[in-house]
Chain A
Amino acid sequence: MLDQPGKTSLIDIRGVCRSFPKGSGEDLLVLEKVDLTIHSGEIVGLLGRSGSGKSTLLRIIAGLIAPSSGDAKCRGETIQGPPNGVALVFQSFALFPWLTVLQNVELGLEALGIDAPERRKRALAAIDLIGLDGFESAYPKELSGGMRQRVGFARALVVHPDLLLMDEPFSALDVLTAETLRTDLVDLWIEGRLPIKSVLMVTHNIEEAVLMCDRILVFSSKPGRVAAEIKVDLPHPRNRLDPVFRQLVDHIYARMTQRAEPRVPAVEGIHGTGVGMVLRHVSSNVLSGLIETLAAPPYDGRADLPVLANSLQLEADEIFHLGESLQLLRFAQLSEGDLVLTEAGMRFAHLETDARKRLFAEHLVTYVPVMGLIRRVLDERPSHTAPEARFRNELEDYMAEDQADDTLKTIVSWGRYAELFAYDEQSETFSLENPH
Chain B
Amino acid sequence: MDFRIIRVPALEQALRPNIWDLVALILVIGAMVLIVYGGEQTTLPLSSLDVAPVSLDPVHLPLYALRTTLRMLLAIVCSIVFTFIYAALAAKSRRAEMVLIPLLDILQSVPILGFLTFTVVFFMNLFPGNVLGAELACVFAIFTSQAWNMTFSMYQSLRNVPKDLEEATQSFHLSLWQRFWRLDVPFAMPGLIWNTMMSMSGGWFFVVASEAITVGNTTVTLPGIGSYVALGIEKQNLAAIGYAILTMLFVIIAYDQLVFRPVIAWADKFRFEQTASGDPPTSWMLDLFRRTRALRALTLPFAALNRAFSNLRINWPAGLKATAKSGPPSRLVDAIWFALIAIGTGYAALRAYQYLSASLGLSDVLAALGYGVLTLLRVVVLIAFATLIWVPIGVWIGLRAKLAERIQPLAQFLAAFPANLAFPVFVSLIVHYGLNANIWLSPLMILGTQWYILFNVIAGASAFPTDLREAASSFHLKGWRWWIKVVLPGIFPYYITGAITASGGSWNASIVAEVASWGDTHLTAAGLGAYIAKATEAGDFPRVVLGISVMCILVTLFNRLLWRPLYAFGERRLRLG
Contact = CB atoms under 8 A, between A and B. Distances in A.
A226 interface: no
B173 A82 contact: yes
A90 B172 CA distance: 12
Nearest to B167: A64
A326 interface: no
A357 to B, nearest CB: 27
Contacts of B175: 111
B170 A82 contact: yes
A59 B168 CA distance: 11
Interface in B299-328: 311, 313, 323-325
Interface stretch (B136-144, B265-273, B329-337): B265-273
A293 B189 CA distance: 50
A149 B541 CA distance: 63
Contacts, number: 83
Contact of A97 (B164, B167, B178, B269): B269
A91 to B, nearest CB: 8
B183 interface: yes
B182 A107 contact: yes
A80 interface: yes
Interface string B120-163: 00000000000000000000000000000000000000000010
B193 to A, nearest CB: 13
A154 to B, nearest CB: 13
Nearest to B189: A98
Nearest to B310: A110
A82 B171 contact: yes
A64 B182 contact: no
Contact of A64 (B162, B171, B275): B171
Nearest to A103: B182
Nearest to A91: B164
Interface string B443-483: 00000000000000000000000000000000000000000
A98 B193 CA distance: 15
A96 B271 CA distance: 10
Contacts of A112: 173
- Size range of the interface on B? 20 to 34
A147 to B, nearest CB: 12
B323 A81 contact: yes
Interface in B158-206: 162, 164-165, 167-168, 170-175, 178, 182-183, 186, 189
A112 B313 CA distance: 10
Nearest to B172: A108
B164 A65 contact: no
Nearest to B190: A98
A140 B273 CA distance: 9
A13 interface: no
B484 to A, nearest CB: 18
Interface string A83-98: 0101110111110111
A88 B165 CA distance: 11
Contact of B324 (A63, A94, A108): A63
A62 B173 CA distance: 11
B292 interface: no
Given A80-B325, A112-B173, A97 B273 contact: yes
Contacts of B178: 110-111
B269 A98 contact: yes
Contact of B164 (A81, A90, A108, A148): A90
B182 A141 contact: no
Contacts of B170: 63-64, 81-82
Contact of B172 (A97, A159, A426): A159
A131 to B, nearest CB: 20
Contacts of B276: 141-142
A148 B207 CA distance: 47
Interface string A361-390: 000000000000000000000000000000
A113 interface: yes
A97 B313 CA distance: 23
A141 B182 CA distance: 18
Interface string B531-542: 000000000000
B274 interface: yes
Interface of A: 59, 62-66, 80-82, 84, 86-88, 90-94, 96-98, 107-108, 110-113, 139-142, 148, 155, 159, 426
23 contacts: A63-B170, A81-B324, A82-B173, A84-B173, A87-B172, A90-B167, A90-B168, A91-B164, A92-B162, A93-B164, A94-B164, A94-B165, A94-B167, A96-B183, A97-B271, A97-B272, A111-B173, A112-B173, A113-B313, A141-B274, A141-B275, A141-B276, A426-B573
The 7 closest A-B pairs by CB, nearest first: A94-B164, A108-B172, A66-B324, A94-B168, A88-B171, A66-B325, A111-B174
